[in-house]
Amino acid sequence: MPNFHRVVITGIGAVTPIGNNIDEYLIGLQKGTNGVSGITLFNPEQHPCKFAAEVKNLQSKNFIEAKESKRWDRFAQFGVIAAKQAFSDSGLEITEANASRIGVIIGSGVGGLLTMESQAQILSHKGPKRVSPFTVPMMIPNMATGLAAIALGAKGPSSSVSTACAAGSNAIGDSFRLIQLGKADAMICGGAEASITPLGVAGFASAKALSFRNESPHTASRPFDAERDGFVIGEGSGILVLETLENAQKRNARIYAEIIGYGTTCDAHHITAPSPGGVGGAKAIKLAIEDASLSLEKVDYINAHGTSTSANDKNETSAIKSIFKDRSYLIPVSSTKSMTGHLLGGSGGIEAVACILSLTHNFIPPTINYVNPDPECDLDYVPNNAREAQVGVALSNSFGFGGHNVCLAFSKMN
């Protein structure tokens, strides 16, 4: 049998609609802050959905030179800023001696959509000679990974995951495996997304995936509520620094938590709809629990995918119940998307951070806007207010278009 390394989290960073660093994000989660408002990034007048969860008041100049930021898509800026936050938080140093043992994996479901749209407009109206030479490197989904690696000097395993809304969680899970198997000593990983663009919003609206609650945007993201009518698109990034327990202890690093399990599956069912009864998601949860060698009684909190769409919330509830049976009703299950909106490929990153903050600060983030119980969604969704609780083990679920399912398991250090 291989000698698996234990993998711990020593750094966290977040750029979100409810806070642009870890301290702000923590306060937002504890207070149940609502990050949804009218769209300001473009004129939404002609759009059926006129609101989103935007990142606001981000001082990118503190992390990225102005000249460089003009050559980076918004999603990549978010990813690099969160990565720099997490790296600084970890106290890790990259040298010539260890650079090849430290890698980066940042997932994105869409990548540089803003760049793609704006340059397509230039091509259409001004011709091919006016298209920016930075178009391709700005729009490709791996560029958050590439730019973070360049900024930090990480020369180890480097890739990008694009499994739609599961991308950030897959990036963390794949990084966990690399360290566990001894292929890297540390990884900077998570997700980044910036798809609040005319095409992004129009596309999801046409697919009937978004909420159209324009008269009350603040109440639009309402996971598990009987009157949910679609998700609210969000943007941002969540990044973790993972490393071997041995490496962290050797340098006396602060350890937030341990990552202990990773399960990933595919529904192989439909391009957007989840498999009936959440069978694929349930299998991912089961695999993560088995990977962590956990008993079901040890799970104290589940950060749900909880998108606020009819099919997802119902099927995720079924998936949880199929695994935990009667104990399902004793486990707090909340969706932080009620506050942040749905960051697509970035959601797994900020939700993993939420789990780690839950473990370290002994609270459970709420599902805000929960007013009307749905008989098909009958678990404890921590309605409207955060809850003090001793959290020893937390699971994070992420499910994406194409049938991609991920579950991550985190625990306090034993």
Give the catalytic positions in this structure.
165, 305, 342
Cβ proximity of 299 and 324 under 8 Å: yes
C-alpha span between 280 and 269 (Å, rounded)? 9
Nearest Cα neighbor of 110 from 193, 170, 171 is 193
Cβ proximity of 248 and 10 under 8 Å: yes
Give bridge partners of residue 409 from the DSSP assignment: 261, 395
Neighbouring C-beta atoms of residue 181, cutoff 10 Å: 12
Tell me how long the chain is.
414
Q: What angle do CA 178, 182, 186 make, to 5 degrees?
A: 60
List, edge to edge, every strand of the sheet that includes 257-266.
158-159, 102-107, 186-194, 235-244, 7-15, 257-266, 404-411, 393-400, 301-303, 333-334
3 state DSSP class of 198: helix
C-alpha span between 335 and 340 (Å, rounded)? 9
Q: What six digits make up the tokens of 336?
A: 């932080």
Rounded to the nearest angstrom, the gap between the alpha carbon of residue 48 and the centroid of all alpha carbons in its chain is 26
Rounded to the nearest angstrom, the gap between the alpha carbon of residue 151 and the centroid of all alpha carbons in its chain is 22
Block residue for tokens 């959440």 = 278
3 state DSSP class of 353: helix
* DSSP annotation string for 150-193: HHHT--SSEE----GGGHHHHHHHHHHHHHHTTS-SEEEEEEEE
Quick one: DSSP state of residue 64?
Answer: S
Rounded to the nearest angstrom, the gap between the alpha carbon of residue 110 and the centroid of all alpha carbons in its chain is 13
Cβ proximity of 22 and 13 under 8 Å: yes
Cβ-count burial of 225 within 10 angstroms (0-12 exposed, 13-18 middle, 19+ buried)?
A: buried
